[in-house]
Structure 1
Amino acid sequence: MIDFIERHITGLPDWAEQPVLAILAAVLGIVIALLVHGALFRVLNRVAHRSTSEADDLVVSRLYRPTRWAFVAMGVVLAARETEALESVWERFAPFVMPLLIGWVAIAILHAFVEAMIVRADITVENNRNARRRRTRLSIFSRIGTFLIVFLTVAGMLASIPGVREIGVTLMASAGLAALAVGAAAQPALKALIAGFQMAITEPISIDDVVILDGEWGRIEDIRTTYVVVRLWDDRRLVVPSSRFLEDTFQNWTKTTSQLLGTVFLYLDHAVDIAPIREEYTRQITAHRLWDKRAQILQVTDCRDQTLEVRLLMSARDGPTLFDLRCEIREGMMEWIRREMPEALARQRVLPTAPIELAATPSMMEAFAGGKGLPDVPDGKAASGHQTH
């Protein structure tokens, strides 16, 4: 290949022959590399499309761009072996380019593997606990692996600079002070990184878990190495440091299972008959589409000054379903009570404890003396006034 190029540029001046040869060799090497890369990925795309799994398509699409540039670098390397001018130029850029390409390909392979595993972990099914745990671990380890690859790539690129390498040797010589300085400066980052490892191992939360945090109900939407994104019920996002889930208390409604128990409280009159209400509750809950048939109890749980507290216990397959079930049962029971048993609704009673006396006024005395009689007053008050007279 190089001999063919040299034969066609023999007419150039000596000072231009080597640069032109290097450029033509590099271009030829890049073209051949791109042709080989295109043919290879055309075959891979056909194989991936014939497969029923989406994981193959994700892997091929993730690897296309970084491997393309890796093939270009490989073509330049092969061309530089045949041309001294191109080899001298490539040696200057290789310490920067090669670590960058290797890191890019490594990150692409990692992300392709993670995305392929996430596709297999379907969380749309009803019993998705294992799938959510798998997605959580993959998400955390993907971010930790990406951080390590980027760190090593940058370190490899900086190590090729003589000045930076000498600074590194000097710092290693004074390792005590350097360790203290680096440890103090990197404490937040190291704490977040360690928290990410701890969350991946101990699993206090998983993707799509239902949690109660700061009095807010939401689902775990994303888990990063330094923070967690919680999607609240009204589509707001609550961003929480990862360390908080390891150090503070919070509620996780789907830690072991998504099934939950819930209650509805009714406050009724003391004189209410509980049996018809229990029968109506049984009829409504057994016919309800959201009930999972695990728990259904009606109990009088408290007797207050003005009302009886009646608790309706019910169960559902997850938190959102339980919330809807509680609201609909509460509405249905109150509607039935208002229609069929209005006497069961709570009311206030005011009972007099002693007769009320009404003193006779001068005007009343004058009316009585004139034969007009006393004005209309309640019986007890009239009797009291007659006695006073």
Structure 2
Amino acid sequence: MNSALLLPIVLGGSILATVVAGWAADLLLRRADVRHPETPLWHLLRRCRRALQIVLLAALLRGAHRQIAWPPLRDNAATVGRILTLALIGAGAWLIVAVASAVVESGYARYATGTRDPARVRRVRTQVTLIMRVVTVVVTVVAAAAMLLTFPGFRALGTSLLASAGIIGIVAGVAAQSTLGNLFAGFQIAFGDMVRIGDTVVVAGEWGVVEDITLTFLAVRTWDERRLTMPVSYFTTRPFENWSRGGVQMTGTVFLHCDHSAPVDLMREKVHEILNHCREWDGRGWDLAVTETTPSTMVVRAIVTAKDADDLWTVRCAVREQLIAWLAEKHPDALPRVLVGPADPRSAEAAARVRATTQGTWDT
């Protein structure tokens, strides 16, 4: 057969075989998904179709390109073979990561569906996220190393560097001490259950929700939509508040400065009324008491409860706003006042005599 005709036949046949194999695999996965709707594995595996087709196409062309006697292809057989090998390695790594991601996501989805404890779900989600990133990094490194080994120059270089691998490892370990510390801190956070994705935390004086955890850094989304990016070693070496540990129910306080004549009993009844009309209040408890006094005011503290940090913030704001508005309307004298009045004439005369006596003493 003419070599010029053999090239399109081999190329077209490989593409056709790849398309048919991808269609057949997708059809089987679709039928498995219909028969087993309780697990999302088969639906997730359908995302691997492109990677599978590239692997098949690269493998077919890699095995058949030397059989084509077309002169331009025959003269550059080594280069074409290396390119196809690199494509095969890259597509194989992509396929491995995609399959692993589908399996892990399927397991996490089934666990999240059958578990009612949000804390456990967040813990597993954190661990799954870090495990997938580790798998991705390992597969990428191995694939990159395999690609480099296809080049004779890099293969000889790797052989010469193998003898000094111990020294290089020590030097790299010292140079990357901070990075390795963050890496191990990431594993400690993931499997030590210190902090999880979705936890409400207070770090560096900022309140927010843990949005992402990687092997080296942790992202916290604050209440005003800012992102705090912090090294994971921060959470293993410094104290921080985790409001999601031990349950998400929380108790908060509202402080008001009032005049000493403020009607505390009526304020207590008003707080109870406000909470009864507040949907975010969980009904677990409340209280109002005078906790401190100063020469000009007294400090009134209201205690409220809520099912989580977001609802607690809403309840505290509602109590503070409505109680101040009620005092301003019904009991304006209960709000703090600054008293300004005319000075006592007798006090002014006494002060003048003191100044005159002091001035005379200094003159003497």
Pairwise TM-score range, normalised by the shorter structure: 0.7 to 0.9
**Secondary structure of 1:339 counterpart:** helix
Q: 8 Å contact 2:198–2:211 — kept in the other structure?
A: yes
Aligned to 1:106: 96
**Secondary structure of 1:60 counterpart:** helix
Aligned to 2:188: 198
Q: 8 Å contact 2:62–2:84 — kept in the other structure?
A: no
The answer to whether 1:272 aligns with 2:274 is no
Aligned to 1:62: 47
- Which residue of 194, 201, 213 corresponds with 1:223? 213
The answer to whether 1:33 aligns with 2:18 is yes
**Secondary structure of 1:34 counterpart:** helix
Aligned to 2:361: none
What are the Cα deviations for residues 180-224 of structure 1, in whole angstroms up to 9, with x where unaligned? Answer: 333244444433322221221123221121122232222111112
Farther off after superposition, 298-307 or 68-77? 68-77
Distance 2:283 2:304 in 1: 9
Distance 1:210 1:109 in 2: 32
What are the Cα deviations for residues 248-292 of structure 1, in whole angstroms up to 9, with x where unaligned? Answer: 232222123221111011222223342222222223223421111
**Secondary structure of 2:145 counterpart:** helix
Residue 40 and residue 294 in structure 1: after superposition, are their counterparts in 2 closer, same or farther (change >3 A)?
A: same
Q: 8 Å contact 2:21–2:53 — kept in the other structure?
A: no
The answer to whether 1:158 aligns with 2:148 is yes
Farther off after superposition, 241-250 or 69-78? 69-78
Aligned to 1:344: 334
Aligned to 2:352: none
**Secondary structure of 1:292 counterpart:** strand
Residue 335 and residue 72 in structure 1: after superposition, are their counterparts in 2 closer, same or farther (change >3 A)?
A: same
Amino acid at match of 1:256: G
Aligned to 2:353: none
Larger Rg belongs to? 1
The answer to whether 1:147 aligns with 2:137 is yes
Aligned to 2:204: 214
Aligned to 1:304: 294
Residue 159 and residue 190 in structure 1: after superposition, are their counterparts in 2 closer, same or farther (change >3 A)?
A: farther
Residue 188 and residue 169 in structure 1: after superposition, are their counterparts in 2 closer, same or farther (change >3 A)?
A: farther
Q: 8 Å contact 1:37–1:68 — kept in the other structure?
A: yes
What are the Cα deviations for residues 5-35 of structure 1, in whole angstroms up to 9, with x where unaligned? Answer: xxxx2xx4xxxx4x75466335323322321
Deviation at 1:233, TM superposition (A): 1.5
**Secondary structure of 1:282 counterpart:** helix
Query: Which runs of 5 or more structure 2 residues have no equivalent in the other structure?
Result: 350-364
**Secondary structure of 2:156 counterpart:** helix
Residue 146 and residue 357 in structure 1: after superposition, are their counterparts in 2 closer, same or farther (change >3 A)?
A: closer
Deviation at 1:349, TM superposition (A): 5.1
Amino acid at match of 1:221: E
**Secondary structure of 2:305 counterpart:** strand
Distance 1:291 1:32 in 2: 63
Deviation at 1:120, TM superposition (A): 4.6
Amino acid at match of 2:202: I
Distance 2:239 2:93 in 1: 39
Q: 8 Å contact 2:248–2:308 — kept in the other structure?
A: yes
Q: 8 Å contact 1:29–1:78 — kept in the other structure?
A: no
Aligned to 1:178: 168
Distance 2:336 2:13 in 1: 91
Aligned to 2:360: none
Deviation at 1:149, TM superposition (A): 1.0
Distance 2:322 2:347 in 1: 48
Aligned to 1:318: 308
Q: 8 Å contact 2:54–2:88 — kept in the other structure?
A: no
**Secondary structure of 2:14 counterpart:** helix
Farther off after superposition, 241-250 or 303-312? 241-250
Number of equivalences: 342
What are the Cα deviations for residues 318-358 of structure 1, in whole angstroms up to 9, with x where unaligned? Answer: 11111111111112222222333333323345799976289
TM-score w.r.t. structure 2 length? 0.81
Distance 2:19 2:11 in 1: 12
Aligned residues with identical type, % of pairs: 32
**Secondary structure of 1:256 counterpart:** coil
Distance 1:92 1:357 in 2: 103
Residue 29 and residue 353 in structure 1: after superposition, are their counterparts in 2 closer, same or farther (change >3 A)?
A: closer
Q: 8 Å contact 1:144–1:193 — kept in the other structure?
A: no
CA root-mean-square deviation: 3.3
**Secondary structure of 1:293 counterpart:** strand
Distance 1:126 1:342 in 2: 49
Residue 119 and residue 355 in structure 1: after superposition, are their counterparts in 2 closer, same or farther (change >3 A)?
A: same
Q: 8 Å contact 1:267–1:308 — kept in the other structure?
A: yes
Distance 2:348 2:48 in 1: 99
Query: Which runs of 5 or more structure 1 residues have no equivalent in the other structure?
Result: 1-8, 360-389
Q: 8 Å contact 1:296–1:312 — kept in the other structure?
A: yes
What are the Cα deviations for residues 80-132 of structure 1, in whole angstroms up to 9, with x where unaligned? Answer: 69x48699767645653443232111111122233334545669x99622221
What are the Cα deviations for residues 151-189 of structure 1, in whole angstroms up to 9, with x where unaligned? Answer: 111112222323222222222222342223332444444
Aligned to 1:116: 106
